[in-house]
Amino acid sequence: MQSVRMEHTDGHGGEAEVWVDGALLTVYDGYSRPGERTPPGKLDGVAFRYTNDEAYCWEDAIRRNPHKRVVLEPVKRWAYYGYGRVESVMPVVIHFGLLRMEDPTWSTGEDLVGRFVAVPINRLEIVRADERPDLGDLPR
């Protein structure tokens, strides 16, 4: 499991900056308790999740990653464009390099496994791992 460190947060529901294996990410803070700010330092028991408000189909997501990239590209604030490889379905789990997360778009098509996709991430969020389902060795 990789190292996750809080750099700064505006508190629960606000913007936070976290280090993940030496990369600084801006995220929505779902980790801090309401009314409290998590102090800077190492975080234990964390997970990452995201929402995407833009509708897309898996065929389009595959077409948008022809170069088989695996990276999170910042767009603005806590929005990213995620390029990654699908590791499983039911739920769909995508490996984006730094992070491995469940995609909110459902699929049962086993042919999706191993495909490289590009998906919009409107809000990348850090949460406490005990507040979401176990997906294995998250965050990677």
Dist. CA 53–CA 105, nearest whole Å: 10
Inside any domain, residue 93: yes
Which pLDDT belongs to residue 13? 97
Q: What pLDDT score was predicted for residue 1?
A: 55
51 and 124 in contact (C-beta within 8 Å)? no
Q: In the structure, what pLDDT confidence band is assigned to residue 139 with cuts at 50, 70 and 90?
A: very low
Instruction: Give the domain extent around 96.
Output: 4-131
| pLDDT at residue 18, as a whole number | 98
Confidence of residue 7 (pLDDT cuts 50, 70, 90): very high
Q: Is residue 83 part of a domain?
A: yes
Contact 128, 6 (CB under 8 A): no
Yes or no: say if 17 and 25 are a contact pair by the CB < 8 Å rule. yes
* pLDDT reported for residue 132: 56
60-111 pLDDT, tens digit each: 999 999 999 999 999 999 999 999 999 999 999 999 999 999 998 889 999 9
3-state secondary structure of 54: coil
Terminal CA-CA length for the chain: 7
How many domains would you assign to the chain?
Answer: 1
Cβ atoms of residues 75 and 100 within 8 Å: no
